[in-house]
Amino acid sequence: AQSVTQLDSHVSVSEGTPVLLRCNYSSSYSPSLFWYVQHPNKGLQLLLKYTSAATLVKGINGFEAEFKKSETSFHLTKPSAHMSDAAEYFCVVSGGISSGSARQLTFGSGTQLTVLP
Amino acid sequence: DGGITQSPKYLFRKEGQNVTLSCEQNLNHDAMYWYRQDPGQGLRLIYYSQIVNDFQKGDIAEGYSVSREKKESFPLTVTSAQKNPTAFYLCASSTPGQLGRNIQYFGAGTRLSVL
pLDDT digits (tens, 9 = 90+) for A85-114: 999 999 998 865 443 444 568 899 999 999
d(CA B58, CA A78): 34
Please state the rounded mean pLDDT for residues A49-77: 92
Our CA-based measurement puts residue A67 at a distance from the nearest CA of chain B, in whole angstroms, of 15
Please state the rounded mean pLDDT for residues B34-57: 91
pLDDT of residue B98: 55
d(CA A105, CA A35): 12
Buried b (16+ CB within 10 A) or exposed e, B58-95: beebeebbbebeebbebbbebeeebeebebbbbbbbbe
Mean pLDDT over all residues of chain A?
88
pLDDT of residue A104: 67
- Closest by CA to B22, choosing from B41, B12, B8, is B8
**Under an 8 A CB cutoff, do A90 and B107 touch?**
no
Our CA-based measurement puts residue B79 at a distance from the nearest CA of chain A, in whole angstroms, of 23
Residue of B nearest to A32 (CA): B101
- Could you give phi then psi for residue A84, rounded to 5 degrees? -70, -10
- Closest by CA to A63, choosing from A52, A49, A75, A47, is A47
- Closest by CA to A33, choosing from A21, A48, A19, A12, is A48
B42 touches chain A (CB under 8 A): yes
Our CA-based measurement puts residue B87 at a distance from the nearest CA of chain A, in whole angstroms, of 11
Please state the rounded mean pLDDT for residues B14-29: 93
pLDDT of residue A81: 97
For residue B97, what pLDDT band results from cuts at 50, 70 and 90? low
The percentage of chain B sitting over the pLDDT mark of 70, rounded to a whole number, equals: 93
Residues 6+ apart with CB under 8 A from A100: B50, B96
For residue A65, what pLDDT band results from cuts at 50, 70 and 90? very high
pLDDT of residue A105: 82
Q: Write out the DSSP string of A13-82.
A: EETTS-EEE-EEEEESS-EEEEEEEE-TT--EEEEEEESSS-SEEE-GGG-EEEEETTTTEEEEEESS--
pLDDT at residue B16 greater than cutoff 50: yes
pLDDT digits (tens, 9 = 90+) for A16-32: 999 999 999 987 777 88
Kindly list the residues from chain A whose CB atom is less than 8 angstroms away from the CB atom of residue B42: 90, 107-110
Residues 6+ apart with CB under 8 A from B13: B19, B78, B85, B112, B113, B114, B115
Mean pLDDT over all residues of chain B?
90
Q: Is A7 helix (H, G, I), strand (E, B) or coil?
A: coil
The percentage of chain A sitting over the pLDDT mark of 70, rounded to a whole number, equals: 91
For the ranges A5-14, A27-36, B37-46, the lowest mean pLDDT is seen at A27-36
d(CA A61, CA B87): 29
d(CA B34, CA B46): 5
pLDDT of residue A100: 43
pLDDT digits (tens, 9 = 90+) for B62-84: 999 999 999 999 999 999 888 89
